[in-house]
Amino acid sequence: MFDVWRNHPQMTAILVDKMIRIQIVDCAAVANWIFSSELSRDFTRLFVWEILHSTIRKMNKHVLKIQKELEEAKGKLERQHKRRSDDDDRSSDRKHGALEEQIERLQEKVESAQSEQKNLFLVIFQRFIMILTEHLVQCETDGTSILTPWYKNCIERLQQIFLQHHQIIQQYMVTLENLLFTAELDPHILAVFQQFCALQA
């Protein structure tokens, strides 16, 4: 798709959006694609980051929608419990059982969606760490300064992800700290995570 629409970033963004919406590709695949070598030439262009943020928003909306459905079903069940104490007929028992099954299915969907959401953020941060580490190692090998325009842009985009999606990322702080932002990580990259943690404290 990108080969065909390479010179039309707006069309690329629209097509990615549509493919996510009709579930041809999942959000983690889009995140991996954004950090792939195929897009390295366009990595600092605005449309790439619009696609990534749109992908994150889509995932967040999906999780919220399922959570809302679950809360509505729980509210309905609670109202049925109140009505049930007033009348003891069998049809209300069947409705009650069907609603409990629906709640169970919705809870599984919520857990699955939250798992996908966590995986999306893990993929994004892992890919940021990989490309930034490659840059730092290359600069050290060449004996050049790490503070290139590309590096500054990349660090600022990482900060933007943290700040723009802080409410969601907070839920996964322990996982991020244990799996990705460990003490062994380069201090330049780890500093961004530590700054985010300091803001949340």
How far apart CA 112 and CA 115 sit, in angstroms, is: 5
What's the pTM value of the predicted model, to 2 decimals? Answer: 0.84
Tens-of-pLDDT digits for all 201 residues of the chain?
555 555 666 777 877 788 778 878 889 999 999 999 888 888 888 888 999 999 999 999 999 999 999 998 888 888 877 776 655 555 556 666 777 888 889 999 999 999 999 999 999 999 999 999 999 999 999 999 999 999 999 999 999 999 999 999 999 999 999 999 998 999 999 999 999 999 877
How far apart CA 198 and CA 185 sit, in angstroms, is: 18
Give the domain range for residue 110: 2-200
CATH number, domain of 120, equals: 1.25.40.180
Number of domains, the chain: 1
CB contact at 8 A, 47 and 13 = yes
